Amino acid sequence: MSGLSTPSAASSAHNLDTRLHLFTPLQVGALELKHRIVMAPLTRMRANRPGNEPSALNALYYTQRASEGGLIIAEASQVVPEGQGMPATPGIHTDAQQAGWQLVTDGVHARGGRIFLQLWHVGRISHSSHQPEGGAPVAPSAIAAVGNALTADFTPAPFEVPRALSLSDIEQLKKAYVAAGRRAIAAGFDGVEIHSANGYLLEQFMISRINERTDRYGGSLANRMRLPLEIAELLAADLGANRVGIRLSPFGVANDSGETDPLTLYREITKELNLLKLAYLHLIEPRASGAGQRDVDHQNVPSGCATLRPFWDQALITAGNFNAQRAEQTVAAGEADAIAFGRYFISNPDLPQRIKNDVPFTPYDRPTFYGGGTEGYTNYAAFGG
């Protein structure tokens, strides 16, 4: 195969070791995967505007990264217009968006791949330029995040004070998640992932310094966990638990998040979610919190998967600055069942084959992550091509 050098004996042994665990089958909900290298959900801001529909370009991007029996978790997609927080992010709340996503799922399935859609609401990590009629973003409480939003014209602006959701708003929001889940399945997705991480709306409800509500969705830990648990339960009942996953970021600090007692929070919500028998739990490792904004590798932080593994019985996926060796070690140790790669899946559309054949990764180009066209999106070559 072109582009490959002759491996040394040590390298060959490493290849065998990597195949031992990463390239063994794995049951994830109703899906049997052929390997354990997952493409993480990655915001790329390349949906068509003004409707935020996926296009043929997006379909090509995902199709390039599909592999036989491999799992892709498609990028975060707002479940309602108010859930948008960045320009040109796709949605899953209109017929046109659903049709655009069908192009994506058709392409991935044609290559033997499997694909879930991440359901998203950013809450206070938005800006009035994204909101219908220029209204305020919404959140559990009227507390602004620290930092800058990215406005509809791709310029930074300070986060605004959000509007606290009413109980009626919350009931409508729960229905919107179910409707979005149904649209995702109708568009050909194999399942959905609930985004309850990285300082977005569902995690905002969980964090005591962000959620100052005095009703049934605030105050006690049980109350603060209520909304993500209710949404997970509703989607599991409607779509089937084996079609629903959830993402958490234990100990994370992205988007002005961070709980004062993270161990208790994430241990308890993991135990409650475990009762629902969802397809998988997807964690963001603390060392990678905030990696979407810059290259980070936080030191002296706990392992999310090792900490929560004892409380989770189904498939466990973890993500965060993994290389092939660390991925293999983590799966071999039983701390996770699969490893999600993000930034290196951008620049290596054939990442599973590169890992299997011990081929070096192509470096990614951070300035092309968000917005734009084909550059840094669909123009990365496979190592054999």
Active-site positions read 200
> CA Rg, the chain, in Å?
20
Q: Which among 212, 206, 210 is positioned nearest to 194, based on CA atoms? A: 206
| Angle (CA) 14 112 344, round 5° | 45
Output the CA–CA distances (angstroms, integers) from residue 114 to 25, 37, 68, 243, 377, in the order listed. 14, 12, 8, 12, 20
Tracing tokens 């990215």 back to the chain, one arrives at: 150
What CA–CA distance (Å, rounded) separates 198 from 283? Answer: 10
Token duo for residue 210? 């962000």
From 245, 205, 277, select the one nearest 73 (Cα to Cα).
245
**89: how many CB neighbours lie within 10 A of its CB?**
24
> DSSP for 217-269?
TSSSHHHHHHHHHHHHHHHHHHH-GGGEEEEE-TT--GGG---SSHHHHHHHH
| C-beta neighbour count of 174 within 10 angstroms | 16
Q: What is the residue type of 12? A: S
